[in-house]
Amino acid sequence: MDVAGKALTDSDRHYREGNAVFDAGPGFFRPESRPSRDLSMLLACHQASRHDHGLHWLDLMAGCGVRALRWGQEAAAMAPVPPRIWANDGDPERLPWMTANLAPLSAAGLEVQVSARPAEGLLAEAFLARQAFDLIDLDAFGSPGALLQPALKTLAFGGILFLASTDGRSPTGHDRPGAVRHLGASARVHPSSWELALRQQLGLIARQVWMLGFGLEPLLSFSEGRTFRIAVRLLKRPRSGDEAQLGMLARCDSCGDQQHQTLLKLRGWPPCSCPQGQGRWAIHGPLWLGPLQDTALLAELAEIPVALASKTRQLLRRLQQDAAVVPTVWSTAELAQRLQLAGPPSLADLVAGLRNRGHQAVGSGVMNGQIRTDAALPELLQICRDLAEEGFK
Ligand SMILES: C[S@@+](CC[C@H](N)C(=O)[O-])C[C@H]1O[C@@H](n2cnc3c(N)ncnc32)[C@H](O)[C@@H]1O
Ligand SMILES: [Zn+2]
């Protein structure tokens, strides 16, 4: 018999992540999503080690309860006052596994609540009961937009919302009507599709936060192309000047040129780099133009002494190196193709060349093989050409 009191069968799936040993049961569980669970646990550890009041954490779409279990086993010990943990999944069939997996936490004296309720109802009741969570993990299927305001209304100021969306088609421009419906935005196909999808999602979160009169601080944003994950901290009021971070990004399909403008000063677009003005801008947005990562926080997360998957360590290193302050990103393969070069320039050489000419430049932390820079496209192409010629000398 397993811990849920059920006879073990071949379909039982036992896993270990960090200190947590659990049975994923027959429902949805993806071992490959470990980096996102590691990060959820690190955010909880970070919060636990910096607060001296009792924290309350909500794993809203918990599946088998693995995130709540990891919070309890790895992060709770770092809190001066034991946190309260609530794991919920709308599917009642997940309840026996959640209950069994989280039993060791209750046995260790933590206050743990387990439920099988629709997220919408749970959040509405929590709001009416004036409950405030310090960390909400919303690991949704599809587009989580409808749950944003309900979740934000139950988040304490300074609290963290860690959000997943598996709706890749709308924000990457492959379902333009869907983007209008889910994001209230124009989304077009772009070679830096993951970056644009994260900026679209963050733009939506910012608008929802601001509508409530609150502010936000983006903490981290990443994707592996399938799920788009963002963590934000809720602030009591918007940070000064943050409205300028919402804007539009334009890209010309013909020449690949890019421009961006804040909504606050939106006006006509200058000509792109196409000869004789024959290019046409495809417009994305409104989306978030500001930084995607809080690199100081990421450095602190990387220092927390817990076991992480090597993929998570790599992800943390990559994100730390690129705060994503500049929203224009180019695929080096695309640049090479436009110049008919044999292969893409080395990212390190390109970064050095751009910085030598006074530009901001960094390899993208969001997508491999992409350069983030404020240089205009003609100069970027010229530097690529120069590097290719130097390579032949
Ligand atoms: C991506 S899975 C969660 C995986 C889990 N967090 C993990 O890390 O393994 C999404 C879960 O959300 C649940 N779910 C979907 N819609 C829901 C809703 N409206 N309210 C509550 N749970 C919901 C599903 O039953 C499913 O278990
Ligand atoms: Zn053009």
pLDDT of residue 390: 86
State the pLDDT at residue 12: 67
Q: CATH 3.30.56.70 occupies which residues in the chain? A: 328-393
pLDDT of residue 27: 86
**Tens-digit pLDDT profile for residues 102-126:** 999 999 999 999 999 999 999 999 9
User: Does residue 2 surpass a pLDDT of 70?
Assistant: no
Residue 13: per-residue pLDDT: 86
Instruction: Report the atom number in ligand 1 closest to the C-alpha of 137.
Output: 6
The pTM (predicted TM-score) of the whole model is 0.95
> Which of 141, 148, 166, 167 has most ligand 1 atoms within 8 Å of CB, for mutation?
141
Does residue 393 surpass a pLDDT of 80?
A: no
Q: How far apart are alpha carbons 44 and 184 in whole angstroms?
A: 32
Output the residue whose Cα is nearest ligand 1's atom 12. 61
pLDDT for residue 391: 75
Q: Looking at the predicted structure, is the pLDDT value of residue 333 above 90?
A: yes
14-247 adopts what CATH topology?
A: Rossmann fold (3.40.50)
Mean pLDDT of the chain: 95
Q: Closest ligand 1 atom, CA of 147?
A: 19
Percentage of the chain modeled with pLDDT above 90: 93
Kindly give the distance from the C-alpha atom of residue 255 to the centroid of ligand 2, in angstroms, as a whole number.
4
The yes-or-no verdict on residue 6 having pLDDT over 80 is no
pLDDT at 9 over 90: no
Model pLDDT, residue 177 = 98
Index of the ligand 1 atom closest to the CA of residue 61 = 12
Closest among 34, 372, 33, 361 to 225, alpha carbons compared: 33
Distance 54 CA to ligand 2 centre (A): 56
| Separation of CA 180 and ligand 1 centre (Å) | 25
Counting atoms of ligand 1 from 1, which one is nearest the CA of 62?
Answer: 6
- Pocket residue to mutate for ligand 1, from 61, 64, 115, most atoms within 8 A of Cβ: 61
Position 189, amino acid: V
State which ligand 1 atom lies nearest to the alpha carbon of 91: 25
> Is the pLDDT confidence value at 213 over 90?
yes
Pocket residues: Cβ below 6 A from ligand 1: 27-29, 33, 37, 61-63, 66-67, 89-91, 94, 118-119, 139, 141
Instruction: Indicate the top mutation candidate among 57, 89, 138 to test ligand 1's pocket, ranked by most ligand atoms within 8 A of CB.
Output: 89
* pLDDT score recorded for residue 29: 93
Instruction: Report the nearest atom of ligand 1 relative to the CA of 36.
Output: 8
pLDDT > 70 in the chain, percent: 96
- Bigger pLDDT: 390 or 193? 193
- pLDDT over 90 at 160, yes or no: yes
Q: Which numbered ligand comes closest to the C-alpha of 279?
A: 2
Confidence check: pLDDT of 358 > 60: yes
pLDDT at residue 277 greater than cutoff 80:
no
Q: What is the pLDDT of residues 219-240, one digit of tens each?
A: 999 999 999 999 999 999 999 9
> What's the CA-to-centroid distance between 194 and ligand 1, angstroms?
23
Taking the CA of 338 as reference, the closest ligand is 2
Q: Across residues 241-250, what is the average pLDDT?
A: 98
Which pLDDT belongs to residue 10? Answer: 41
Instruction: Considering the chain, tell me which residue range(s) the CATH 3.40.50.150 domain(s) occupy.
Output: 14-247
Give me ligand 2 centre to Cα 343, in Å: 23
Q: Give residue 3's pLDDT band: very low, low, confident or very high (50, 70, 90).
A: very low
Kindly tell me if the per-residue pLDDT of 180 is higher than 50.
yes
Fold classification of 328-393 is Phenylalanyl-tRNA Synthetase; Chain B, domain 1 (3.30.56)
Q: Which ligand has the minimum distance to the alpha carbon of residue 151?
A: 1
pLDDT in tens, 296-325: 999 999 999 999 999 999 999 999 999 999
Q: What distance in Å separates the CA atoms of residue 96 and residue 114, rounded to the nearest whole number?
A: 10
